[in-house]
Amino acid sequence: MSDDIQSFEVTMGGASGDMLSARSGDRALKVGVLACAYFEYWRMYEGLLEDVTSDMKQVAERIGTSHEIVYPGLVDTLDKADAAGRLFKEQHIDVLVITEGTYCTDYIVHQALLHLPGDMPLCIYASQAHGVLDYEAGYDQSLRNSGPMGLIQLTAGFRKMGKYANYEVVVGTIDDDEAYEEIDRFIKVRTTIANLKHWNIGLVGHVFRGMYDFQYDKTSVTGKLGPHVIDIDIKHLAALFDAIGMDDERVLALCRKVRSEYHVEALTDADIQRSARLAIAQQDLVTNYNLDGLALLGQHHIETLANAACHLGLSEILASDQAIAVTEGDVLGLIMSKVLKDFTGHTPFFGEWEEVDTSLNAMMLLGHGFVDPREARADRPVQVQPTCEDWGFKGQSLGFQVAYTPGPVTLTHVIEDPNGWRLLISQGEILDTPPLQISETTMVVKMEKPVKQYLKELMKLGFAHHAIAAPGNAVAELKMFAEQLGIEVCRV
């Protein structure tokens, strides 16, 4: 029958039974706030209930300034705890922040948790009304600061029960800006983890032959990190490429953009046009297959097919926020690029550990011909030149030469070996150095420790030869990301 459902490999991008018809896209999480206290205290001290109710409302409102929250009000009895748990379930919260305005027996908290999944991400906020001991205040004010005692009891119970092993802990007063920043960080990390589960990666080709460090187990990737890896045959890209004429208006418009927005050297209009044609096909591939990430094997796989490098297409995909994209089949590098972009707001540099400069105590990271042009330092033009590696082109193909803005940088990658998953976390400084005349994007990073020692440790730990690097400091977020997923942290 003509309306029989078929596989995406047959429909070539049309509606199918094994590809989503629309991208899920990233979404914000709904945050439950469970604020508990102990009903026994209200009859002992007049006005304490009102004070604690106000304290806990302040906590909820503060979290609610940045996130969509579900707050059932102060929970001080088992009935209220049960009702709160039911409300959280009905509202489909994604994470739960637990705090206490006084010491609270742990069974009240557990009654609310009964209605939620056993793997619900928890943030335990050990909050106090005051941050300094008041030697003149009465016992009622000590009770307002006794929430941490109840939460220590709660977390000890978690450990004995073998439940909620990856809860996060934040300590502070109810008006502590730093505490709310930590809570925001936890929600940010859990948002990335949640969205990765809906991430579809299209892989055209395979890991570059001989790069054993990038080989991966799809089942393990989905089980640990969340994304699904979909093998897309080169014929799917070839069909899109063949359907695009050299005089296609999208191709011509991209050629005009390259000439008008970048500093072009030693490339003919025909050279740029070939790269633009492949670039449009790459963008169509992302659109047709509703991909969140794209990993390509360029070189002798795609580039010989199209007589052009993949660099312009990858750069356009990044610059338009259409997807995250990398080459050499580095699927794990692609995932960490998404993670680091979430945490820093910058499109990461996809580079290789290349050269050591002992005079600068720095390493030079070498790119792969493509970059998000928005990340280029503002005082230098984005240069488009003949690509420095020739994989059998007739004529020239296009590559980018760009440097990132000097300042703090975070570097990462993830690897799975016989001992499990490990995450690299490093921090350094992008230096203000002259441009290297190698027709390639570079990043010169001063390391925190002696650079030769750094490289020794990197190699002894056995991390891959790619570095995912982004401006800013995302060390705390990456550490939390790894801990939430049960991944070993390697701080180098």
| Angstrom distances, CA of residue 100 to CA of 40, 52, 149, 220, 417 | 14, 9, 9, 38, 42
Helix locations, 135-176, DSSP H: 139-144, 147-161
- Beta strands 362-366 and 383-386, pairing class: unpaired
pLDDT by residue (tens digit) across 28-84?
999 999 999 999 999 999 999 999 999 999 999 999 999 999 999 999 999 999 999
pLDDT by residue (tens digit) across 148-173?
999 999 999 999 999 998 999 999 99
Judged by average pLDDT, the poorest of 22-36, 200-214, 421-435, 437-451 is 200-214
- pLDDT of 342 > 80? The answer is yes
What DSSP designation does 29 have? P
Tokens describing residue 72:
């059932």
- pLDDT of 281 > 50? The answer is yes
Q: Are 440 and 367 in contact (CB under 8 A)?
A: yes
* Rounded Cα gap, residues 404 and 406, in angstroms: 6
DSSP-derived 3-state class of residue 387 = coil
Domains identified in the chain and CATH numbers:
30-196 (3.40.50.10940), 200-491 (3.20.14)
How many beta carbons lie within 10 A of that of residue 165, not counting itself? 10
- pLDDT of 190 > 90? The answer is yes
Burial class (CB in 10 A: 0-12, 13-18, 19+), 474: buried
Burial class (CB in 10 A: 0-12, 13-18, 19+), 132: exposed
Give the CA-trace dihedral at 250, 252, 254, 257, to 10 degrees: -140
Tokens describing residue 335:
């995932």
Tokens describing residue 452:
């030769």
Confidence (pLDDT) at 188: 98
CA atoms within 13 A on the CB side of 384: 25
pLDDT by residue (tens digit) across 401-416?
999 999 999 999 999 9
Confidence (pLDDT) at 208: 86
Confidence (pLDDT) at 1: 43
Confidence (pLDDT) at 2: 52
- pTM of model > 0.85: yes
DSSP-derived 3-state class of residue 44 = coil
* Rounded Cα gap, residues 476 and 471, in angstroms: 14
- Strand segments, DSSP code E, in 87-239 are 95-100, 122-128, 168-173, 200-204, 228-231
* Rounded Cα gap, residues 463 and 476, in angstroms: 20
| Angstrom distances, CA of residue 345 to CA of 176, 196, 321, 412 | 25, 16, 12, 15
User: Between residues 61 and 303, which one has the greater pLDDT?
Assistant: 61
Angle at 246 between CA 242 and CA 249, to 5 degrees: 110
pLDDT by residue (tens digit) across 228-240?
999 999 999 999 9
Q: Are 425 and 475 in contact (CB under 8 A)?
A: yes
**How much of the chain exceeds pLDDT 70, in percent?**
99
pLDDT by residue (tens digit) across 109-156?
999 999 999 999 999 999 999 999 889 999 999 999 999 999 999 999
Mark 451-469 as b/e (b = at least 16 C-beta within 10 Å): beebeeebeeeebbbbbbb
